[in-house]
Amino acid sequence: MYDKASSELMIDNNDVRIMIWSFEANQSTGLHKHEYDYVVVPCKTGQLNIITENENMTSDLIIHQPYHRKKGVEHEVVNNGDSFMQFIEIEIKS
């Protein structure tokens, strides 16, 4: 249904995995489950849709204002907007 957003692995070691995710309009991460607690740092202000098994919600991202989630989150992140979106995802392994 959606094209795949691009991701670039920045760091992957015993402590953290850091990815930068870039979304054009109508691109998605695909459905995935987080193995680790993680922090998201938006690189741009905007909105992304978060789709889970039970709901579809809009998430407001504000540039450089990070948020934290616990491991086990299963979702798909979609850019339904018209403009480019980007964030850095930091998974905490230890």
Per the rule left: phi > 0, alpha: psi between -120 and 50, beta: everything else, 53 is: alpha
Report, as an integer, the average pLDDT of 80-94: 97
Is the overall model pTM greater than 0.85, yes or no?
A: yes
Asked if the model's pLDDT at residue 71 lies above 90, the reply is yes
| C-alpha span between 44 and 55 (Å, rounded) | 24
Question: Domains in the chain and their CATH numbers?
Answer: 3-92 (2.60.120.10)
Q: What is the pLDDT of residues 24-69, one digit of tens each?
A: 999 999 999 999 999 999 999 999 999 999 999 999 999 999 999 9
What type of residue is 53?
Answer: E
How high is the mean pLDDT of the chain? 97
Q: Is residue 94 very low, low, confident or very high in pLDDT (cuts 50, 70, 90)?
A: confident
